[in-house]
Amino acid sequence: MEVIEKAPAKINLGLDVLYKRPDGYHELEMIMTSIDLSDRLTFSPLPNKKIIIQTDNGFLPRDKKNNIYQTIEIMQKAYGFSDGVLVHLTKNIPVAAGLGGGSSDAAATFRGLNRLFGLNATLNDMVKLSIPVGTDVPFCLYGKTALVKGLGDIVQPLEHSIPQCWVVLVKPKLSISTPKVFSRMRLEELHHPNIRALKTAIEQQDYQQMTKELGNSLEGYTLNKYPSVQGIKDKMLAFGADAAVMSGSGPTVFALCQHYSRAVRVANGLRGFCDEVYLVRTLNQ
């Protein structure tokens, strides 16, 4: 028996860093949405709690450093089953790109094991178990479009997904450490997007207003340190994108286009500057 799960990427339509908490982490307020760029995971049972991860991506660890591996161990402990798991991962989401690929793989693993072994875990059960794996995993379990608060553990799905549009993703040849960004940024210098106004625009299905309210508090640090990321954003707008924003801590920048012809023009224009360019739709389940 095998179970197949898709793991969609996410983008941050809005990301605001509010303050540093007493525990040393930062309080966040974000709006995320899922996009039609997905990894594919296939799960099969193995004997004796053995965990094997097979993948076509040579950059990913296959041991306890991998989110999939960690998730399997968490589920084994929480539900006390003695089976092992063979996971085959087809990786389509760029690694270390601010697109939540590892978190979405973990979320897909929670769902896949739940189905494979008939664990009857609820969404709330899986969300609670997922928090130690990564801050984006709870959202990836919910999917669609949601307001996300705290450390990423408070997820409030919106009644409407964002207005249907096209997304152009550009991943430059950079790897950016999220912990390093948070440790080196200065809170007093951050730009704070209006998350409430962004949420209202989505709820009203007002595409034009939504594009005006997009924003990311982490852009200032990353764009200053890596001017090539700013260059990508500028080129997207020059080629006619309705809006362009960095996702997460970067380095991926995404552009939104209401019309396919405009999205194609933006994507083709960027392919002359970057190797990793993706043209996808939003996921409005």
Q: Residues forming the annotated binding site for ATP?
A: 94-104
Bridge-based pairing of strands 145-150 and 154-157 is antiparallel
CB neighbours of residue 99 within 10 Å: 26
- End-to-end CA, the chain: 27
From the annotation, which residues make up the binding site? 94-104
**Quick one: which H or E segment has residue 253?**
strand 253-257
Question: CB under 8 Å, gap of 24 or more: what pairs does 209-215 form?
Answer: 210/13, 210/162, 210/163, 211/242, 211/243, 211/256, 212/243, 213/14, 214/13, 214/14, 214/243, 214/245, 214/256, 215/14, 215/15, 215/16, 215/191, 215/245
CA distance 179 to 181: 5
Q: Quick one: which of 210, 162, 217, 143 has its CA closest to 187? A: 217
Q: Quick one: which of 175, 243, 182, 253 has its CA closest to 218? A: 182
Q: Which of 16, 39, 136, 242 is catalytic?
A: 136
What is the distance, to the nearest Å, from the Cα of residue 76 to the centroid of all Cα atoms in its chain?
A: 25
Query: Is 64 part of the annotated catalytic residue set?
Result: no
CA distance 125 to 105: 17
SS3 181: helix
CB neighbours of residue 36 within 10 Å: 16
Query: Is 63 part of the annotated catalytic residue set?
Result: no
CA distance 169 to 174: 14
Q: Which of 10, 91, 171, 199 is catalytic?
A: 10
> Which residues are catalytically annotated?
10, 136
